[in-house]
Chains A and B, each alone.
Chain A
Amino acid sequence: MAARAEDINREDALQGIGCSRKRKEDPRFVQGKGNYVDDIKLPGMLFADLVRSPYPHARVKSINKEKALALPGVHAVLTAEDLKPLNLHWMPTLAGDVQAVLADEKVHMQYQEVAVVIADDRYIAADAVDLVEVEYEPLPVLVDAHKALDPDAPILREDLQDKDNVGQGPRRHPNHIFTWEVGDKEATTRAFDTAEVTVKEEMYYPRVHPSPLETCGCVASFDKVNEHLTVYITSQAPHVVRTVVTLISGIPESKVRIVSPDIGGGFGNKVGVYPGYVTAIVASIVLGRPVKWVEDRMEHLSTTAWARDYWMTGELAADKDGRVKGLRVNVLADHGAFNSHAQPTKWPAGFFSIVTSSYDIPAAQVKVDGVYTNKSPGGVAYRCSFRVTEAIYLIERMMDVLAQKLGIDKAEIRRRNFVKPEQFPYKTALDWELDSGDYHTALDKVLAAVDYQGLRKEQEEKRAKGELMGIGLVTFTEIVGAGPSKSCDILGVGMFDSAEIRVHPTGSVMARMGTITQGQGHQTTYAQIIASELGLSSDQIQIEEGDTDTAPYGLGTYGSRSTPVGGAATAVAARKIRAKAQKIAAHLLEVDENDVEWDIDRFKVKGVPGQEKTMKEIAWAAYNNVPEGMEMGLEAVDYYDPPNFTYPFGTYLCVVDIDKYTGQTHVRRFYALDDCGTRINPMIIDGQIHGGLNEGFAVAMGQELPYDAEGNLLGNTFMDYFIPTFVETPHWETDYTVTPSPHHPLGAKGVAESPHVGSIPCFTAAIVDAFAHLGVTHMDMPHSAYRVWQKLHELGLDKHS
């Protein structure tokens, strides 16, 4: 037993996979020593601020810079006219469209960038913005996506008028962007024609904003002597930004350095390239001085990437026992003024076709139409993997609608339709191959943990007394880890990711990845992976990301891809090093390579106790005593192109009590069980889940970016836009099962987005369930007290009897 205890000690000392290691990032953050973009101050640095349009649709008749330029401390005022000779007045989006950097004769949305002012400090820049005189000629405004394709709709994008394709397939109207259709139409029609029961529901998924607490910004610094550009930027994908900068500026990638320093939250908002970044870069090139641009909160909420804005119609065909035979979905997607949603290029609706989720649905058909409106551009993956949130919302709502129609319990109807454990790998009707899952176990565990039957009984008693209590249940499957390069790319670059690991002679490690942490704790967890793979303590392993001069090219962190792709690259690179180490160990021990075996942190000669070389000893030997013909050193690189996506899943349950006089919803209980496969750091996983649940709570209960009929954005400050505080936020209970991914080197699937994807329909389900006995099948988000009260009032429930 002593030997065993010693093994356990050795393993624990590594702080590898599976342990709740404290975060390496934290000491600098708790001491105010983080290094965010706005903390960067370069000698001679100037400040940029943007002149923005008050009109959502207008011609720019004239721009007068004189008064602004006359203000002491102002260095330049640039407009589209100034950028034109450089061909920088428009930029490519990640979706095949172009977006105006500064308005070129026309504005297409309120707050659109019209001119940039460069000044000595941010106060002077703000003063000068007010001195720039712009004359506009207002045009008719298109706000309602449903009217975008009307024959007499105002035409928004005159720059595209002659194009019948804007990068995502043929289009049929000047305001049309694409039609995306997948699935077997014939089989689906047959399923509906022969169904014993069908249900249909329309639902709107509001436009919401990720709103990380750090807004977007950059510091651009062009070195005129060496023609070298450095940009510190709030980006979740710095290598992609470098490629975009080269494509639009012509500066070779080797002379462009993009650095994502510490990032104050991203959640999908910081994937794209924004006009503010480009104007700061241009200003730095023109003036030869560093230029900082940092937007304020109102600019952030008004112009940077939001998510959703999907008008969805779902239909299910089923038998009378609730077994689903067919699914049909139609979506009208409002993309705003430019198609700059950040999805893999060939996926105009992202992975929305994961809509069959955890269910064995034989036939399905999906159609999505994307349209332009006079609103800010977006439709990004907000804490989800490319429109998965919308898809799961739709199917989970539809399963409840079907259950209510048939009078079947909402847990039971899911159980009847689940893909069974023996069906994996399971090919869905819309062509995804679910890698692994055990949905029944997850569901049963949650139902037992919360005493589901007891809750239903309590609900019945409450209903008898006229009280409103709702139980929401969601059983979702996500698709993350984009993705296999055969199906996923961004601007033509395959969506692989990378790791480069160097073991130093004394056994410490430097590793760099193509991803970038924004709070996920990569510096902690990647080190744990390497520690377990190489048998070196994670405390000796340094992780660096985000500097394109040093890190290997990668597609970045969003869509829960860091662990599925970057984590896999890290494991594979470490295994390459271990394979070399095995040869060195055999050489040192003077035995054949096949006669040594790996044991936690060393290679041992099989069957000969004591004959062993630790990884530390091997590291030293790698720099002075390697087998003949082997090159010195101990390092490896891996560019990991995943064979498939990973499919984390979960079962969430929410219990709410609704005050029938005020519409106030109290979330009494929220229980979240997640299965993300192999768990690398349980403490961090729980933290990610808490955060995702809270962002889901925000979306479901209060967030929206509404526009009035004139195209004015209502609600672009934290006074109006709902961010839950400590007070509103419910208490979270978490649980897990472990079903490893069969194709990921570690069996890990990714986790940070599941809680967002799964919780939003769960809140809606709970609220609708509170009204289900009154025939209510759906209520659109956000479920603010006022909106819930409107339903109470409509049903006459808010009256004292």
Chain B
Amino acid sequence: MAKQHISFSLNGQQVDALVEPRELLVHTIRETLSLTGTHIGCETSHCGVCTVDLDGVSVKACTVLAMQANGSEVMTVEGLADADGLHAVQQAFIEEHGLQCGFCTPGMLVRAYRFLRDNPNPTDEEIRWGMSGNLCRCTGYQNIIKAVHSAAQKLQQA
């Protein structure tokens, strides 16, 4: 299959890649562009460990074609921290013990980042619904909810 040229912004940097039309965005990010923070868990969009931010919307990169990202802005977990250090959601997950094996964590964080942009002051119930596209087997979710709350407060103060 002839490869196609695509170009998009990944964590603020313009990147180029040659991809087969059938190639999934998650594989391009992980294997061609070597950012392995975005994981693969189910390949059917259920688990959310591959969640990335695509033009301001959370998407599951295991069911997005790389070509669909052409010309767009993509952010992965590697793009959360900046020169000032960890993003508030990253810090809150550490403080509130919101992770264990760490496999769902990148997707959780990228989703929490977008969720808090859309809803800066959520209730418990809103967090549960807003994050429900991301599965976790280790934490029982409770400390993730605490972490999202705590990050919301920090971001509000900032």
Contact = CB atoms under 8 A, between A and B. Distances in A.
Contacts of B139: 687, 690-691, 694
B44 A39 contact: no
B86 A684 contact: no
Interface in B81-107: 81, 86, 90, 93-95, 97, 99-106
A39 to B, nearest CB: 4
A370 B134 CA distance: 38
B140 A727 contact: no
A212 interface: yes
Interface in B49-108: 49, 76-78, 80-81, 86, 90, 93-95, 97, 99-106
A326 B140 CA distance: 37
Contact of B131 (A123, A687, A726): A726
Contacts of A718: 42, 44, 46-47, 135
A727 B126 CA distance: 10
A457 interface: no
A213 B137 contact: yes
Contacts of A38: 30, 36, 39-40
A397 B78 CA distance: 49
A23 B86 CA distance: 15
A70 interface: no
B103 A31 contact: no
Contacts of B142: 690, 729, 731-732
Given A27-B94, A726-B132, A297 B102 contact: no
B38 A32 contact: yes
B100 A520 contact: yes
A720 to B, nearest CB: 10
B53 to A, nearest CB: 13
Interface stretch (A260-268, A430-438, A742-750): A260-268
Interface residues of A, number: 57
A623 interface: no
A694 B140 contact: yes
A43 to B, nearest CB: 13
State the main secondary structure of chain A at its contact with B.
loop
A521 interface: yes
Contact of B101 (A30, A41, A263, A690): A263
Nearest to B108: A30
Interface in A511-527: 518-521
A722 to B, nearest CB: 11
Contacts of A519: 100-102, 138
Contacts of A521: 100
Nearest to A215: B41
B145 interface: yes
Contacts of B109: 30
B102 A29 contact: yes
Contacts of B136: 213
B155 interface: no
A30 B77 CA distance: 8
B138 A25 contact: no
B141 A265 contact: no
Interface in A546-596: none
A38 B106 CA distance: 15
B95 A22 contact: yes
A523 to B, nearest CB: 12
A347 interface: no
A123 B23 contact: yes
Contact of B43 (A296, A518, A694): A296
Given A123-B22, A212-B137, A727-B129, A265 B101 contact: yes
A30 B94 contact: yes
A723 interface: yes
Contacts, number: 172
Contacts of B95: 22
A26 interface: yes
Given A687-B143, A690-B139, A718-B44, A31 B78 contact: yes
B39 A297 contact: no
A211 interface: yes
B46 A719 contact: yes
A695 interface: yes
A717 B97 contact: no
A723 B140 CA distance: 11
Given A32-B76, A34-B102, A36-B103, A693 B140 contact: yes
Contact of B103 (A22, A214, A297, A732): A214
B35 interface: yes
A31 B137 contact: no
A30 B93 contact: yes
Of B81, B129, B136, most buried by chain A (CB within 10 Å of CB) is B136
Interface string A512-546: 00000011110000000000000000000000000
Contact of A726 (B34, B101, B128): B128
Given A213-B135, A717-B42, A729-B141, A265 B23 contact: no
Interface in A750-793: none
A683 interface: yes
A123 B140 contact: no
A213 B47 contact: yes
Of A519, A723, A726, most buried by chain B (CB within 10 Å of CB) is A726
A61 interface: no
B37 interface: yes
A41 B137 contact: no
A723 B128 contact: no
A26 B34 CA distance: 21
Contacts of B100: 265, 519-521, 687-688, 691
A696 to B, nearest CB: 10
Contacts of B131: 726
Contact of A211 (B37, B40, B137): B137
B127 interface: yes
B37 A33 contact: yes
Contacts of A686: 97
A717 B43 CA distance: 10
A30 B103 contact: no
Contacts of B133: 725
A222 B131 CA distance: 43
A694 B142 CA distance: 10
Interface in A680-726: 683-684, 686-695, 717-719, 723, 725-726
Contacts of B141: 690, 694, 726, 729
Given A31-B86, A212-B103, A719-B44, 6 more contacts: A30-B86, A31-B81, A34-B105, A123-B23, A726-B132, A726-B141
Interface of B: 20, 22-23, 27, 30-31, 34-44, 46-47, 49, 76-78, 80-81, 86, 90, 93-95, 97, 99-106, 109, 127-129, 131-145
30 contacts: A23-B97, A25-B102, A26-B102, A27-B94, A29-B106, A30-B90, A31-B37, A31-B86, A32-B76, A38-B36, A123-B20, A123-B23, A213-B41, A213-B47, A213-B49, A213-B101, A264-B101, A264-B103, A297-B44, A297-B47, A519-B102, A519-B138, A687-B97, A687-B139, A689-B140, A692-B140, A723-B46, A725-B132, A726-B129, A727-B128
